């Protein structure tokens, strides 16, 4: 999306920048590939923090 500071800021700041960029770019659809990596293969548990962020 072109965020020059993608590696800086808190989770909330990064999320806010992403939302702004999505609106400004008039994004209509987001496809998330490789979602299976949110599951720990040893325990089959979903990595909760990432999953909760996606739900928002």
Q: How many helices and strands (H and E) does the chain possess?
A: 2, 0
d(CA 45, CA 47): 6
Q: Does position 11 have pLDDT exceeding 80, yes or no?
A: yes
Per-residue model confidence (pLDDT) at position 20: 94
42 in Cβ contact with 50 (< 8 Å): no
Per-residue model confidence (pLDDT) at position 39: 78
Per-residue model confidence (pLDDT) at position 34: 82
Question: What is the CA 28 to chain-centroid distance, rounded?
Answer: 16
Per-residue model confidence (pLDDT) at position 23: 95
Q: Does position 2 have pLDDT exceeding 80, yes or no?
A: yes
Per-residue model confidence (pLDDT) at position 21: 93
Q: Does position 8 have pLDDT exceeding 90, yes or no?
A: yes
* Domain positions in the chain: 11-55
* DSSP label at residue 46: B
């Amino acid at each position: 999306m072109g965020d020059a500071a993608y590696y800086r800021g808190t989770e909330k700041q990064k999320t806010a920048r992403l939302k702004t960029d999505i609106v400004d770019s008039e994004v209509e659809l987001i496809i998330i590939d490789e979602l299976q990596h949110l599951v720990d293969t040893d325990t089959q548990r979903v990595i909760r923090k990432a999953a909760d962020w996606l739900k928002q």
